[in-house]
A and B are shown apart, each in its own frame.
Chain A
Amino acid sequence: MNLHTLTVHQLRDKLRAGDVSSREATQSLLDRIQAVDGRLKAYLWLNAEHALAQADAMDRGGIARSERLLGGVPIAIKDVINVEGQPCTCGSKILKGHTSVYDATVVHHLRQAGAVLLGRTNMDEFAMGSSTENSSWGVTHNPWDLERIPGGSSGGSAAAVAADEAFAALGSDTGGSIRQPASLCGCVGFKPTYGRVSRFGLVAFASSLDQIGPFTKDVPDCAVMMRVLAGHDRNDSTSVPQPVPDYAAELWKGVKGLRIGLPKEYFIDGMDREVEAAVRAAIRKLQELGAEIVEISLPHTDYAVAVYYLIATAEASANLARFDGVRYGARVTGDDVIDMYARTRGAGFGPEVKRRIILGTYALSAGYYDAYYLRAQKVRTLIRQDFERAFEKCDAIVTPTSPEIAFRIGEKTDDPLRMYLSDIFTISANLAGICGVSIPCGFTTNPRLPIGLQVLGRSFGEETVLRVAHAYEQATEWHTQKPGL
């Protein structure tokens, strides 16, 4: 039985009815991974015996047949989120051999929901990148074209879900690291509102921007995952004590009467023509479904990448100071303790991480703090205010997720600035703290590669975003298309 092609909700129906076991579902995925992951390299770590033992426990304990939201469902985890007893390297050789000593809060939630914690997915080192090429362990390949990148930084999770190597996966999104790879691989990727999902146990990159979110095959699965992941956590003081809605119950409300904003700044020169055409067609579809389309303006959009690369690198330079060879990770000995830190970090970090730590250190250093970091934080306020004003006129905002389709492996590795600009449509949501999703909205013709539609919502407006995404998904077939591996 080809169980691996099912969505989470389809699998749950079968598990609940007792038609299949968690072991069978897990074995089906393991077989699929065995067949295709040699070409994709989405997984960094997987232990079949360990996964099947968890599945057996779900079957024996009656959890797979229970009403638990993810009872018996195997889930893949980005290698930046701690799962006790499993390796966690953040895609970096500085953490080679590191074993997590505790569960992240989201992992605790997954366990409570009955999930099988299947394996660890590839990523750009410390989530810094847009292509997964910055992983110390090699690049993940796009399931639609193996010569191309899957996006990043959560490229392994996106490729795994798109290629039916996982029913769903976790990623993290600091500047688009869930939405952009979802767009480029043709699956659903959700970035929750800042504070909606606990980051306890997520290895920090930029703490004022990071959020954990799900990759799924369709929008109903996304609603289920968000229900499991969201909620206040006393271990994360930035998580917000607000009740978690039943997202799945909101899905069917349709878009009739909703005002959908189109920001003129997101339809730019130099955007791939087929991407623009697909997004415009999606907008017409939403209009047909009863949404009111309104023109809006987000006037500071053009400054978002500059703001992001100062704030994110500054925060990263502080967060990554912990990798110094003392308590965990690799160590390179030196003449004294300072020399040991420097040699350990020089040997352990890859080029992109070094570049960003240097930039962030510079932006925070004496004499430059006001000119770079403080100024960026002020422009961040202007970007946040743009969205506040826009959401007075509309209930959701629709844009392309990325101005382009998946690019070729190696195409942008020598030009970091060009790489950074590929996040131009996703970064603002992190700066403003709002939520957003990427869903499939078409394909380019030659080569045939997925195109993503981004739906952005107000802070804690997850229900509205999912409603819009679901209405569109119900009216189209894009999410059912599979890569020919």
Chain B
Amino acid sequence: MSEGTGTFDISYVAHLARMHLTEAEKATISAQLKDILAYVEKLNQLDVSNVEPTAHAMPLTNVFRKDEARDSIDPAKVFANAPEQARDLFIVAKIVE
């Protein structure tokens, strides 16, 4: 973990998160995350080599239900919340040339 904190590249992580940050935000968040990452270093004090990870507190597996047709939400209500829509479609910027 310690090798990680030295190479924290805020611009790279912000790109992964699809999040525009101002230069001031980058500086503030970098400084705060440095503190937080230093704090979580304490997890290295523990030997977890023989410990299984917990993904969920209530391990339910293979939750199936019958494949039944059910009513879905009225499209008119859904599109009423869309930032830009036309003819029951969401309008976005062109993604293929």
Which residues does A use to contact B, with CB under 8 Å?
A: 98-99, 101-102, 193-195, 208-209, 234, 237-238, 240, 300, 302-303, 305-307, 309-310, 317, 321, 324-331, 333-334, 336-338, 340-343, 345-347, 349, 351, 354-355, 357-359, 361-362, 365, 367-368, 371-372, 374-382, 384, 416-417, 420, 430-434, 459
Contact = CB atoms under 8 A, between A and B. Distances in A.
24 contacts: A194-B57, A303-B42, A305-B39, A321-B18, A324-B18, A327-B78, A328-B83, A336-B94, A337-B94, A343-B20, A345-B17, A345-B19, A351-B25, A355-B33, A358-B21, A358-B29, A359-B36, A375-B1, A377-B55, A378-B52, A382-B46, A417-B36, A434-B57, A459-B58
A357 to B, nearest CB: 5
A252 to B, nearest CB: 29
Given A303-B46, A375-B48, A381 B53 contact: yes
A384 B54 contact: yes
Given A361-B13, A362-B33, 10 more contacts: A240-B60, A300-B46, A303-B43, A330-B83, A340-B93, A347-B20, A358-B10, A371-B4, A378-B48, A420-B36
B83 to A, nearest CB: 4
A321 B19 CA distance: 10
A234 B54 CA distance: 23
Contacts of A340: 92-93
A38 to B, nearest CB: 30
Which among A98, A309, A362 has the greatest number of chain B C-beta atoms within 10 A? Answer: A362
A194 B19 contact: no
Given A238-B58, A340-B92, A378-B48, A372 B21 contact: no
Given A303-B43, A337-B93, A382-B48, A361 B58 contact: no
The secondary-structure label for the interface of chain B is loop
A343 B15 CA distance: 11
A376 B35 CA distance: 17
A145 B38 CA distance: 35
Given A333-B93, A378-B51, A379-B48, A195 B1 contact: no
A359 B32 CA distance: 10
Given A334-B93, A358-B29, A379-B48, A432 B57 contact: yes
Contacts of A432: 57
Interface in B3-36: 4, 8, 10, 13-22, 25, 28-29, 32-33, 35-36
B19 A349 contact: yes
B47 to A, nearest CB: 10
B69 interface: no
Which among B10, B14, B18, B80 has the greatest number of chain A C-beta atoms within 10 A? Answer: B18
B95 interface: yes
Contacts of A347: 20
Which 10 pairs, one residue from A and one from B, show the smallest C-beta to C-beta distance?
A433-B57, A346-B20, A377-B53, A331-B83, A378-B48, A237-B63, A342-B20, A341-B18, A328-B81, A361-B17
Which among A349, A372, A374 has the greatest number of chain B C-beta atoms within 10 A? Answer: A372
Contacts of A372: 1, 4, 40
A370 to B, nearest CB: 9
Contact of B56 (A98, A238, A310, A358): A238
Nearest to A331: B83
A358 B46 contact: no
A280 B42 CA distance: 30
Given A349-B19, A371-B1, A416 B32 contact: yes
A451 to B, nearest CB: 27
B52 A381 contact: yes
A358 B17 contact: yes
Contacts of A328: 81-83
A380 B15 CA distance: 29
Contacts of B42: 302-303, 306
Contacts of A380: 53-54
